[in-house]
Amino acid sequence: MTVDDTGSDAGARPAPDGEPGRTAGPVTDASPSPADARPGTRPDAGSDTGPDARTDLNGRMDLPAEPEDGEDPLALRLEGLILGAERRYTPFQAARSAGVSMELASRFWRAMGFADIGQAKALTEADVLALRRLAGLVEAGLLSEAMAVQVARSTGQTTARLAEWQIDSFLEGLTEPPEPGMTRTEVTYPLIELLLPELEEFLVYVWRRQLAAATGRVVQAADDEEMVDRRLAVGFADLVGFTRLTRRMEEEELGELVEAFETTAADLVAAHGGRLIKTLGDEVLYAADDAGIAAEIALRLIETMAHDETMPELRVGIAFGTVTTRMGDVFGTTVNLASRLTSIAPRDAVLVDGAFAEELIRTGEAPASEAEAAEAAATAEKEGEEPPTYRFALQPMWQRPVRGLGVIEPWLLARRDTES
């Protein structure tokens, strides 16, 4: 939800305390002081009060929550269960209770991706606390206001997608009504009541693990500049002929194919040390700090899909260079080049750019040519040493112009042995 800037319930436009020329309109509900405020109590599953009852901030029983016009009573019950508190504040009252201006509160709510609610009484103590915490980080100098808004936006976008997936896929498969006449929504309430604490703890666990991994990658950067603009290998994997498939396949069948592709790609990228940046239905974008890791992922993707008769052919393009990272995404010329290489790659093949090929050669993952590999092997044998082992082979392709990037010389990437 987002807040608007229309002010109080009486229609006056409020101003932050101390700002001359404007006064806040009257507040219809008394707002608790920060010392007295605490979230409402979630009713126990077996209590006499039931999920329709609500309590005030001192634990006293209040009247059952009344839905607004057009609102489903069960939806309201589910909201109260998930949020753990009853609706109490309008946006203006929430901002005032949190001690922030309406302008800043509006920016935070919109950044989190919530819809406008005007001045409806739809916010809870948790909403007030979230505003207070973000504003407190700014006041303490730990975050700039712009960074606090970015934190709200990145968190909102990520969790919005997670929540949609859980409702559309996970809960849908578990809420089949057990008895005739029961609706899916009637089954959902007790299910969410059981799952909510477990999923919440699991979410925090995964977030901490991901944060630890991301922090570890950053502190290993060579210098301060690399912490923001880093040199990475970026790869795109694209299903061939996906547009034609959408015209031939049923929606459910197409959805299953996309899910299988995304799951396989995500597992392979993670298992081999890469990072899945995003999925786009028929395409996945991944990144790796090491060119050898990116190459291994690309070839594994090709090999795995080739052994699955239900999957279309795949093509992969990889580029290496400076990449700007923002909110978990990657941007820049290197990313654009990887996308272009994917579009011109042969079926079931991997194309890489010159910088990526040079990086594989520099790190000893691939020879500059087969002639060089043979010469190195002969030299090692003559001196009684073990010959160098290369995992990958590189074959230069014809130079060609690429829109917006000039003339490039792609290289075809393959394995040098039969290991998979």
Across residues 198-221, what is the average pLDDT? 84
**What is the domain partition of the chain in residue ranges?**
1-39+85-169, 175-220, 226-415
Check residues 261 and 191 and name the one with the higher pLDDT: 261
Q: Say if CB 122 and CB 65 are below 8 A apart.
A: no
Check residues 73 and 363 and name the one with the higher pLDDT: 363
Check residues 348 and 55 and name the one with the higher pLDDT: 348
Say what percent of the chain tops pLDDT 90: 33
Residue 153, classified by CB atoms within 10 Å of its CB into exposed (0-12), middle (13-18) or buried (19+), is middle
Residue 187, classified by CB atoms within 10 Å of its CB into exposed (0-12), middle (13-18) or buried (19+), is middle
Asked if pLDDT for residue 419 goes beyond 90, the answer is no
- What's the fold here for domain 226-415? Alpha-Beta Plaits (3.30.70)
Asked if pLDDT for residue 250 goes beyond 50, the answer is yes
Across residues 352-371, what is the average pLDDT? 92
* CA atoms of 233 and 221, how far apart (whole Å): 15
237 band by pLDDT with thresholds 50, 70 and 90: very high
Check residues 33 and 356 and name the one with the higher pLDDT: 356
For the chain, the farthest-separated pair of C-alpha atoms sits apart, in whole angstroms, at: 93
90-111 pLDDT tens trace: 999 999 999 999 989 988 998 8
Residue written as token pair 């995964």: 206
The confidence score (pLDDT) of residue 311 equals: 86
* CA atoms of 7 and 320, how far apart (whole Å): 51
279 band by pLDDT with thresholds 50, 70 and 90: confident
Across residues 56-76, what is the average pLDDT? 52
The confidence score (pLDDT) of residue 227 equals: 52
66 band by pLDDT with thresholds 50, 70 and 90: low
Tokens at residue 11, please?
């229609």
Q: Say if CB 167 and CB 151 are below 8 A apart.
A: no
